[in-house]
Amino acid sequence: MSNRPTSTAHPTGPAYQRDRAGLLGADRIAAREAVARVYRLRDNPRMDLATVHVRQLQVAEWSVFRQIRLRALADAPHAFGSTLAEARQRGERDWRALLLRRAQFLAAAADTAVGTVGVTGDGGELHLISMWVAPEARGTGVADLLLHAVLDHATVRGGDRIRLEVVEGNIAAERLYFRHGFRRTGVRGTVGGGDVRPEFEMVLDL
């Protein structure tokens, strides 16, 4: 999930000037991300966050879930525990069953879906899964909106902790979760399902 600006113009805004002044570490990273977000929004006005709305999908919307899940698997097959071929084989009953077992949130700009995330569990510890943002919406804040929806859901459900896993080397994902308060626990493992890539756990205590 790249946060690089799509424009080739050299940034000259306040965030860039502050960066030139000598910001270090997290402050410098935050300044650069702010510049990238400004330029992405300028070059892709459909991604103006004012036009993006996040809502929870209902069981009757299984086909909407199927559509964005297939898009996500086609775009980033390495990021999920299931494959595009497996997802294509699922029928209506399977997709409905998935929505019964989780809260699945959809981010959409007008009528175009641009992101999704799921949450399992009901009270206590919840598990954040299947975060995905469409390529054209990356770096614009859509992932933050989805994460806010998860946090609100956890609060309503009486959750006291949210857990998630990040594939080793996915710096953009770790940075997203870190700025919302998630921290590594030291627990490590592999993606599973035949995928031996290493991953690590992060949690947020509410």
Q: For the segment 128-175, what is each residue's pLDDT rounded down to a tens digit? A: 999 999 999 998 999 999 999 999 999 999 999 999 999 998 899 999
Q: How far is CA 55 from CA 58, 145, 163, 192, 197, in A?
A: 9, 10, 21, 29, 32
* Rounded distance between C-alpha atoms, residue 113 and residue 107, angstroms: 6
Position 79 scores a pLDDT of 78
* Alpha-carbon span 42 to 158, nearest angstrom: 39
Give the integer Cα–Cα distance in Å for 176 and 182: 9
pLDDT of amino acid 40:
47
Question: In what helix (H) or strand (E) does residue 11 lie, and over which residues does it extend?
Answer: none
Whether 50 shows a pLDDT value over 90: the answer reads no
- Residue 196's pLDDT is what? 86
Q: Give the pLDDT band (50/70/90) at residue 59.
A: very high
Residue 164 CB neighbour total at 10 angstroms: 22
pLDDT of residue 43: 52
Mean pLDDT, range 71-77, rounded to an integer: 92
Contact 132, 75 (CB under 8 A): yes
Provide the residue type at 197 as one letter. R
Domains of the chain in start order, with CATH, are: 1-43 (no CATH), 44-205 (3.40.630.30)
CB 181 within 8 A of CB 128: no
Note the pLDDT of residue 149: 97
- Please report the pLDDT score of residue 78 as a whole number: 77
- pLDDT per position as a tens digit, 165-176: 999 988 999 999
Higher pLDDT, 33 or 21: 33
pLDDT tens-digit series, residues 80-130: 878 899 999 999 999 999 999 999 999 999 889 999 999 999 879 999 999
- The residue with tokens 């469409």 is 134
Q: If you search the block for the tokens 């459900």, which residue do you land on? A: 157
Tell whether the torsion through CA atoms of 122, 176, 78 and 3 is positive or negative: positive
List beta partners, residue 128. Answer: 119
Judge whether residue 18 has pLDDT over 70: no
Calculate the average pLDDT of the chain: 82
Indicate if the pLDDT at residue 203 is higher than 80: yes
For the ranges 3-17, 56-70, 89-103, 135-149, which has the lowest average pLDDT?
A: 3-17
